[in-house]
Structure 1
Amino acid sequence: MSLFETTEVLVFFNVLLQQLGAPVPAVPTMILSASLSGEASGIFVLAFVATLASLIADWAWYLAGRFYGYRVLSVLCKLSINPESCVSQTESRFRLWGPWSLVVAKFIPGFSTVAPPIAGAVKMPILSFTIASALGAFLWAMAALLAGWLFKEQVNRLFETLQDNLFIVGVLAALICSFWLMWKLARRDAFQSRLKTPKMRPEDVLGLVKAGHSNLRLIDLRPAVVQEAEPLPGWLPANSDSALAAARTWSKSDLIVTMCACPDDVSASHVAGLLRDHGYRQAIAMEGGYEAWLELTRH
């Protein structure tokens, strides 16, 4: 069986795996498949296959977000090399573009995986989700496929050249990926080293709440879409900027507890550090974040 006879299968599983979160690029496969297509009508078949595969993955993430809410975002961002960036960028993009950010999500690496569970978490209607997701997937697939079709001669020549120099290409690709990974990991370690500060246990926070501690300030740093979907009584919904603005009206001696729904409490620790830099010496992150608080208050 030739590569041409299996292009639809290759595209389907490649797109499906990528949209499920596997670190496998799908665009090169679609470009090559389009360059091997004998007729222009084959482009639309490949686009349909890619859209279907993307939809299946998006439905899976949507349902995960629908049933498990913010926890899915936390797990996905925990896999990120820079989890704090994952959380903050996801929140800002979804806040800026709304649920219809799904249309452009496919063109933004990483965001295409985290957008569907957010749509599920905020209870976006399944029909609207499907339309937006399908449109985004189709436009994304057609962009890659048309590029492969329009430049099929160049793509085929490049593919042949790569095949003739496969060892050299593999070594260069491995070196580039290794240097990129080391650079990203170094950035992650540098960021996390700044967050190694003491944290307050959720049991202690709850004890202060029940005791009616007068100088206790609670800051909720979960993504805005999650704050709206799952509000927390007693917690001030905020982000890093609004938290600093709100703190200006408080006493510098107040006990400020920050909480987020992010891996290793990175956003909570980051904002607590910013508050301490501004003179709020009793600002501290709550250990375990929202999941720990939810587990504690559920009983």
Structure 2
Amino acid sequence: MSSSDNAGFIPPTKEEDFGLNGMDLIIDGWFHERGVMWPGQSMSLKVEEVLYHGRSLYQDVLFFRSSDHGNVLVLDGVIQVTERDEFAYQEMICHIPMFSHPNPKRVLVIGGGDGGVLREVCRHDVEKVVICEIDKDVIEKSKLYLPSLAKGYDDPRVEVKVMDGNVFMADNPGHFDVIITDSSDPIGPAAALFEAPFYKNMYAALREGGIICTQGECMWLHLDIIKPLISKVAEFATTVEYAYTTIPTYPSGQIGFVIATKGKEEGCKEPSRRDDSIEKVLKYYNGDLHKAAFTLPSFARRAIFE
């Protein structure tokens, strides 16, 4: 997860309007994540060095070097990326939709300022990748402190738009084969990214046969968010499905993806193509795991789809 885009979002102007101050969560040399969306539990990482802390126009931004998880990005007090396990998220949010499309050429990434999704998209034979990230500070600092993710920005096929993704999509209807939204949780600037109007705007920006994949929260914690969102998207998308990945440093060790299609009746549970040259360099995604990612525990399947 990383920073996000939001039409109509007003940047905070007072200290109390921001999320948690990341520095306040470092106690006795440990960072203790506190999230209002996962009450009663906390993820803690040992801090070796604070690399950067500041407030952008949109959020509190913290980078630190941990003892065992490499460099870490924290936004508004919530862990977004650790170098140790980021690939489990970046690979799945990217390659599930990319390999579900038979020939993706134009790709839009919304959010994802750390560059991890870009890195993965650029493994494919695409013509153009546009990233709309509203917070330029996340882009600039990620290039410094997360270079293994941000190297995607160096690809000549990538075009960076520091702007509202909704505005960009409105200006480019029917243009993209795949749209990936790598957002933070539905608080503050990311709240609108979990509402039906945003999904309708993405749907309108797709070409026929196109695919949407968005960060879809945790089945252990957020069924009250996932269920109504899936139901709303199902009203206009050809298909809508929920897949997931495991990742230790996200709440409850799991994060999901809402995947919707436009004119693709078979959905995305089976890859439309395979590429051994890509799969052999990946750490997490493979064609078998692609299919398995849509197999949900009974409690989640019933809660989301029944």
Whether TM exceeds 0.5 here: the answer is no
**TM-score under structure 1 length normalisation:** 0.28
- More helix by proportion, 1 or 2? 1
- More strand by proportion, 1 or 2? 2
Q: Point out the structure with max Rg over C-alpha.
A: 1
**TM-score under structure 2 length normalisation:** 0.28
